[in-house]
Amino acid sequence: MNQNEQTSMRFELVQLPYATDALEPVISKQTIELHHGKHLQGYVNNLNNLVAGTKFENADLTTIVKESDGAVFNNAGQILNHNLYFTQFAPSTGGHPTGKLAPAIDATFGSFDHFQKEFENAGVGLFGSGWVWLAADKDGKLSIVKEANAGNPVTNGLKPLLGFDVWEHAYYLDYQNRRADHLKELWKIVNWKAVGARL
C-alpha cells in the first residue's frame, strides 16, 4: 500500500508534510485549514460512513475509486485526489522537474515551459469544478487529463503524477475568481521530487 491508502480501512485525514502556513503566500493558512481540515475531513468522514457494511469496507482507496459510483465514488475520489494534492507541495520548492520526469516532459510537450502553459490552459478551460492532472500510462507516456468533479485518471488506467485542484474552495479566499493566477502561482510550491517519485 502507498501513502494514499490506509491499512486500517478506516480512512483517515492525510497528514500535511508542512505547517499550515508554510505555503504562504501561494496558498494561505486559512485556505489550508479550510481545504484540508474541513473539506477533506468531510470527505473522509462521509466515506467511512458510506462503505461500512458494503463490499468496499475492506477495499483500498484506489480500488474504490475504480469500482464505485455515486456518493461512494465522489468521496473516495476526492480523498485520493486531495491526498495526492496536499503531498505534492512543499515550501521553497518549485523550479523544474528532476530525474526521469524532466526528459519525459520535454519529450512529450517540447519543453517544460510548453507543458506549464498547456497545463494551465487545461485548468482554466475546465468548466465548473474539477481537476487537471499530469498522468502516465503503463509505458510511462505522459498526458494532461482534465477531470470533472471528483474524477481521477486511475479510472482510465492511468497513474496520476501531479494534480491541480480547480474547485473554487481551493483558491477563492486567496484569488477570488482569478483561477488562472492561482494556477500560475502553484508552480512555486510543487515538490518535483515527490511528483517524480510517482512516475
- CB neighbourhood size of 92 (10 A): 9
Q: At what angle do helices 112-125 and 179-186 cross, to 10 degrees?
A: 150
**pLDDT, position 186:** 96
Domain shared by 77 and 107, yes or no: no
Domain shared by 119 and 76, yes or no: no
Domain shared by 78 and 107, yes or no: no
The residue among 40 and 173 whose pLDDT is bigger is 40
**pLDDT, position 33:** 95
Domain shared by 142 and 167, yes or no: yes
Domain shared by 139 and 60, yes or no: no
Count of the separate structural domains present in the chain: 2
Name the pTM for this structure. 0.91
Domain shared by 119 and 190, yes or no: yes
Cα 110 from chain centre: 24
- CB neighbourhood size of 19 (10 A): 11
pLDDT tens figures, 8-39? 458 999 999 999 999 999 999 999 998 999 89
Q: What is the CATH number of the domain that holds 168?
A: 3.55.40.20
Domain shared by 81 and 130, yes or no: no
From start to end of 16-68, where are the E strands?
Answer: none
Instruction: Give the Cα separation of 150 and 65 in Å (integer).
Output: 9
**pLDDT, position 142:** 97
**Amino acid at the residue 25:** P
Domain shared by 112 and 178, yes or no: yes
Assigned domain for 94 exists: no
Q: What is the CATH number of the domain that holds 40?
A: 1.10.287.990
The position carrying cell 475568481 is 177
Assigned domain for 14 exists: no
Sign of CA dihedral 4, 67, 141, 139: positive
**pLDDT, position 9:** 52
Decide which of 86, 112, 133 is a domain's last residue: 86
Assigned domain for 93 exists: no
| Pair 170, 186: CB distance under 8 Å | no
Assigned domain for 181 exists: yes
Domain shared by 135 and 173, yes or no: yes
Instruction: Give the Cα separation of 106 and 27 in Å (integer).
Output: 28
The position carrying cell 500510462 is 137
Assigned domain for 50 exists: yes
4, pLDDT greater than 50: no
Instruction: Measure Cα distances from 165 to 45, 49, 121, 122, 149 in Å.
Output: 20, 25, 13, 12, 10
Instruction: Give the Cα separation of 130 and 122 in Å (integer).
Output: 11
6, pLDDT greater than 50: no
Domain shared by 106 and 166, yes or no: yes
- Per the prediction, the chain carries an average pLDDT of 91
Domain shared by 106 and 75, yes or no: no
Assigned domain for 33 exists: yes
b/e code 109-143 from CB counts within 10 Å (16+ = b): beebeebbebbbebbeebeeebbbbbbbeeeeebe
Assigned domain for 96 exists: no
Assigned domain for 51 exists: yes
Position 1 confidence tier, pLDDT thresholds 50, 70, 90: very low
pLDDT tens figures, 36-92? 998 999 999 999 999 998 999 889 999 999 999 999 999 999 999 999 999 999 998
Domain that holds residue 174: 101-196
Domain shared by 192 and 122, yes or no: yes
**pLDDT, position 17:** 94
Position 2 confidence tier, pLDDT thresholds 50, 70, 90: very low
Span 134-159, average pLDDT? 95
